[in-house]
Structure 1
């Protein structure tokens, strides 16, 4: 599906895979493999931003995928996030939607909400929030209404 469709129908917390449709090169071609990995992967949908119009620039609607954290001993050193505009030429698909009853921990970033954690239930979310120490985060339960949009334009969305 297109990036615009992901922006419109995928709820925050969904696991989204993306691809450019090319075959994975052999491991011995390290540069080609690195380039391929930048255009083929998966991540958790953590932010959606509407179009922005400013006097000096404009940007299309976009979404951000959290691809992973790297660190050692419980300390995160690097977080990999990739942002895609709805005009991206990549192909996207929803691999997994958040389940009903899971709880999102959201934080406001400007005018938008960003997913900082997806917990299995409210108790786990409150425990994580107490340990993490985010002062202005809010909890939002995943409902059946937002997960029910499985068929979009005659295609399965997940």
Structure 2
């Protein structure tokens, strides 16, 4: 699947893998392996940002994946996000989509909102919010229609 199709069809909360198509180098080639891993990984789709035009500068539409959190115990020290332009040449695969009825927790309302948590239920989302402090959070239920329509359109593309 292309980056443009991910942007157009795949719902936030989906687990996406991406690849440049090259084979994984042997473990002993640490530098080559590190470079390969930066172009062959995956994460949860957390944000879609439309194209922007500001004066003579423009930026294409892009989406962001949350690749992981690093820290100790329950303290997150580093959160890794990676953004991809819709004209990116990598190949993408949707591993899973959010389950219908699950609750998406966004950090705020509006166009720049970022998915910060995907809860199994509204109660789970509200419990998570109490301990994570997002005062402007917005909860949205994942509908059956949205996931089904995206899945059919994604397969047809």
Q: Which has a greater percent of strand?
A: 1
Q: Secondary structure of 2:114's partner?
A: strand
Residue 86 (structure 1) aligned with residue 105 (structure 2): no
Q: Secondary structure of 1:92's partner?
A: strand
Pairs aligned (count):
156
Whether the 8 Å contact between 2:109 and 2:137 is mirrored in structure 1 is no
Whether the 8 Å contact between 2:52 and 2:61 is mirrored in structure 1 is yes
Residue 32 (structure 1) aligned with residue 32 (structure 2): yes
Residue 10 (structure 1) aligned with residue 10 (structure 2): yes
Give TM-score scaled by structure 2 length: 0.95
Partner residue, 2:22: 22
State the Cα distance separating 1:107 from its structure 2 match.
1.8
* Consecutive aligned runs of 4 or more in structure 1 exceeding 4 Å deviation: none
Partner residue, 1:139: 139
Structure 1, unmatched stretches of 5+, are none
Give TM-score scaled by structure 1 length: 0.94
Partner residue, 1:117: 117
Partner residue, 1:47: 47
- The superposition leaves residues 35-68 of structure 1 with CA deviations (integer Å, 9 ceiling, x where unpaired) of 0000001100000000000114100000000000
State the Cα distance separating 1:110 from its structure 2 match.
7.1
Residue 57 (structure 1) aligned with residue 68 (structure 2): no
Partner residue, 1:104: 104
Structure 2, unmatched stretches of 5+, are none
Once residues 20 and 63 of structure 1 are traced to their aligned partners in structure 2, the CA distance between those partners, rounded to angstroms, is 17
Partner residue, 1:66: 66
